[in-house]
Copies of this chain bind each other. A is one copy, B any other.
């Protein structure tokens, strides 16, 4: 019995749900060389699996997470969990990524902060978190580390690799790096090359973090660090995951139920202003963003945010391979690329470009553009159209 089979919950899951799951740690105790030329003596990857590995060991679907995601993409960790994994709507028995049929593997990326080795991991040489002593990580480093885990699990090949946003970058890198190992690529809402605008947003987030005095050149205790800067970075990034239209529908100019009162310690000149005037929360969208910032600082490490956004910035397949067509020359996988019309972070054009380059390289590739108004995050949200595309591409029988 291998690790993957041990992951199956002992009690049958709820109909349609993965049910109780638990994470595992893969410890790679050999030196690992990063693209930057830096090395680590070893690393740990935290991961989860759902569904059974088949006898041929070739039914694994790898799910790659985005910037702020993790290995916990489906099921719950305890019966009191209020929220399941981040892609629970698409992964489960009978769902689009059908765990009755596929063995699903999801891994926290190298450089991350949810259990895999990253800048917040204790540096054995100092007994303190690595901080800026952690090697620079790239999308390719993330994928190469995941491949070592796949080898450890004894996987013969991957049925598919799926992911949105930074996950989609990993999908493309998987197909390029391990052509014989990857049978299907399903990148969503992604790009083959981080644009100037996307780099610019990442840079502002990094500046918010690095200019926070609590960042201290990346040297801060676990649980400490530049909470203010990280919250600002997250608030800004969150706007880029939505769309003008979705924000107007979701919040518009609505005021919260209880508007904040003016600060009594700082009365304004003359008469006090009416309650409609304050720099505290006045609009629901402000309250929402502040909540996004607050909750993020309790689950994410600021240095990981720096490292992972830098990995995004560096992602440039055309530059590395001479052209995108050349990047895809040796790919053996079949590809379905999915874009969302309202995604302005990785616009439809950038996803279409991937398929056009694959076709020029003589590969099997198709493209679907889903009309949504939910922005970049569309790939995470409920969509029967998306489910049907994924189900069909993975070759599962359609429900009749």
Contacts and interface: CB of A to CB of B under 8 A. Distances in A.
B123 A269 contact: yes
Contact of A247 (B196, B244, B306, B310): B196
A204 B237 CA distance: 10
Contacts of A242: 197
A286 B199 contact: yes
A86 B56 CA distance: 69
A175 to B, nearest CB: 22
A267 interface: yes
Contact of A279 (B206, B212, B293): B206
Interface stretch (A14-22, A87-95, A250-258, A390-398): A250-258
A217 B197 CA distance: 32
Nearest to A124: B269
A38 interface: yes
Most interface-central of A239, A250, A272 (chain B CB within 10 A): A239
Contact of A134 (B200, B204, B269): B269
Interface string A202-234: 011011101111000110000000001001100
A38 B271 contact: yes
A334 interface: no
Interface residues of A, number: 78
Given A194-B253, A279-B306, A286-B200, A132 B268 contact: yes
Contacts of A243: 197
A372 interface: no
Given A204-B235, A218-B266, A316-B253, A273 B196 contact: no
A250 B132 contact: no
Contacts of A270: 38-40, 135
Most interface-central of A130, A195, A213, A316 (chain B CB within 10 A): A195
Contacts of A132: 263, 266, 268, 279
Interface of A: 34, 36-40, 123, 125, 130-136, 193-197, 199-201, 203-204, 206-208, 210-213, 217-218, 228, 231-232, 235-236, 239, 242-244, 247-248, 250-253, 263, 265-274, 276-277, 279, 282-283, 285-286, 289-290, 293, 306, 310, 313-314, 316, 319, 344, 347
16 contacts: A36-B274, A38-B272, A131-B266, A134-B268, A134-B269, A196-B247, A197-B243, A199-B283, A199-B286, A203-B235, A203-B283, A207-B231, A213-B213, A277-B310, A279-B310, A282-B313
Given A134-B268, A211-B228, 20 more contacts: A37-B271, A37-B273, A38-B269, A39-B271, A125-B269, A132-B268, A132-B279, A134-B269, A135-B270, A196-B248, A196-B253, A200-B247, A203-B283, A203-B290, A204-B235, A204-B236, A207-B232, A207-B235, A210-B279, A277-B314
